Structure 1
Amino acid sequence: MVKIETFSVEAWMDQHETGSQFNIAETCCASISIDQLRELSEDKDRPVFDTSRTLTYGAIRGSDALRNNLARLYSAKSANLLPPENIITTPGAIQANYLCAYALVGPGDHVVCHYPTYQSLYEVPKQLGAEVDLWKAKPENNWIPSIEDLKNLIKPNTKLLILNNPNNPTGAILKKSFLQQIIDVAAEHNIAILSDEVYRPIFHSINPLDPEFPPSILSMGYKKVIATGSMSKAYALAGIRVGWIASRDPEIIEKIAEARHYTTISVSQLDEQVAAYALDPNTVHSLLARNIQLAKTNLALLERFVLKNDDACEWVKPLAGTTAFVRFHRDGKAVDSVDFCKKLLEKSGVLFVPGSECFGGEYKGYVRVGFVNHVDIVKAGMDEVTKFVRRNLDDVKLAE
Structure 2
Amino acid sequence: MSAVYGHPCGGVVAFARRVGPGCERDDGGGGQSSRALSVARYVDTRSVDVVVIGAGQAGLSAGYHLHRTGFTPGTGFVILDADDGPGGAWRHRWPTLTMDRVHGFHDLPAMPFPVAAPDRRASEVVSGYFSAYERTFELPVERPVRVETVRSLPDGRLEVRTDRGRWIARALINATGTWSRPFWPHYPGRAEFRGRQLHTADYRGPAEFTGQRVVVVGAGTSAVQLLGEISPVAASTTWVTRRPPDFRDIDFTPEHGRAAVALVEARVRSGRPPSSVVGVTGLPVTPEVRRLREQGVLDRLPMFERITPDGVAWADGRFVAADMILWCTGFRAALDHLAPLRLRDAGGGIVMDGTRVVADERIHLIGYGPSASTVGANRAGRAAVTEIRALLARATALD
Q: Normalising by structure 1, what TM-score? A: 0.24
More helix by share: 1
Q: Normalising by structure 2, what TM-score? A: 0.24
By relative contact order (CA 8 Å, sep 6+), the higher-ranking structure is 1
